[in-house]
Amino acid sequence: MRRWNPSSPRALALPLVLWSIAFLGGLVVLVSGVVGDWSAEEARAERTFQARQFALSGIAMGLNPAIKTGDPLLRSGEPEGEGFEVKISNEAGKINPNFWLAQNNRDVFVRLFEGWGTEEELSEAAIDGLIDWIDGDDFQTLHGAESAEYAAMGRQGFPANRPLVHVREMEAVLGLDTVLAAREDWREHFTTWHNGKINLQYANEPVLTALGQLTPRQCAALFELRAGPDAVEGNDDDVRFESIDDTATVIGASGVQLEALENFFDVSGSVRRIESTGFCYGTKHRIVVIVPEDGGGAIMSWEER
């Protein structure tokens, strides 16, 4: 009988074979995982690309000045599958901080922040911080922040000392950032594209109640009036306001309400905002474009998220 010799070539071959099998098995698992991840990433990239293409299609629709809110062409497909959805609104119904601070008007911000429930101390710091961001000097307002305060926070090169270019800059303003962080929808209240008073034709309820001191019932009456017979705002049958006084009379606004409406609102100005969301089987891509209402001239802003 031949005895087992652990040092013989045949004895050494078995562990090597077993090791090779284990190694190849691990390699297969590894490669399968890498290929699976690569395939999933490629699928995500393809869906992202398709979602952006659908969003671009929606922007093309929204750029046509003949297309109004409620037009069926502003929606295509279903969110669970492929397609796009477009929302058209107007920047003229928002507050332009550059315009109001150029008028040395703090009251518009005081009233807005008060309507948000902001404490007076935080409100004053937010307004002064915004003034220091926009003015062209390095003189600090009472509650504001200039270069030394930003440097102490590790933010060299701030404040900008110029008017806001885009509302997203407001999040970088010391003092104002705290107030905005407590208000998720704060961007819906501000613009840098409409340079003038707030157009009563497009203002939303929080702005109307805070600045115009209108009641919710008066706001509802105003929205019903301006929507016209089809009860949909933003299309051709909307009632166009001729003056603040006439509109105030219709909704029953007088006294301090009328004074507030005349101070902060008018009935002119129009800047179209197009928000197009493309979707492809769970993946979304959003594009926001700002253009003149008549569709003429260059695109004022293009933002993708």
Q: What is the pLDDT of residues 78-102, one digit of tens each?
A: 888 999 999 999 999 999 999 999 9
Going from the C-alpha of 191 to that of each of 34, 91, 106, 302, the distances in angstroms are 46, 6, 17, 14
Higher pLDDT: 1 or 26? It is: 26
Contact (CB, 8 A) for 213 and 107: no
Q: Per the confidence metrics, is the pTM higher than 0.85?
A: no
118 pLDDT more than 60: yes
Give residue 35's pLDDT.
53
Give residue 179's pLDDT.
97
31 pLDDT more than 60: no
Q: How many CB atoms are closer than 10 A to CB 9?
A: 7
Give residue 29's pLDDT.
58
The stretch 186-209 carries a mean pLDDT of 96
What would the pLDDT profile of 262-276 be if each residue is shown by its tens digit?
999 999 999 999 999
What would the pLDDT profile of 210-244 be if each residue is shown by its tens digit?
999 999 999 999 999 999 888 888 888 888 999 99
17 pLDDT more than 70: no
The stretch 285-304 carries a mean pLDDT of 87
Name the 3-class secondary structure at 45.
helix
Give residue 18's pLDDT.
64
Give residue 37's pLDDT.
64
Give residue 236's pLDDT.
84
The stretch 271-284 carries a mean pLDDT of 96
Higher pLDDT: 149 or 32? It is: 149
185 pLDDT more than 80: yes
Q: What is the Cα Rg of the chain in Å?
A: 30
Give residue 41's pLDDT.
85
Positive or negative torsion for Cα 92, 97, 99, 103:
positive
7 pLDDT more than 60: no
Give residue 15's pLDDT.
62
Amino acid at 58: G
Q: Is 40 exposed, middle or buried (0-12, 13-18, 19+ CB in 10 A)?
A: exposed
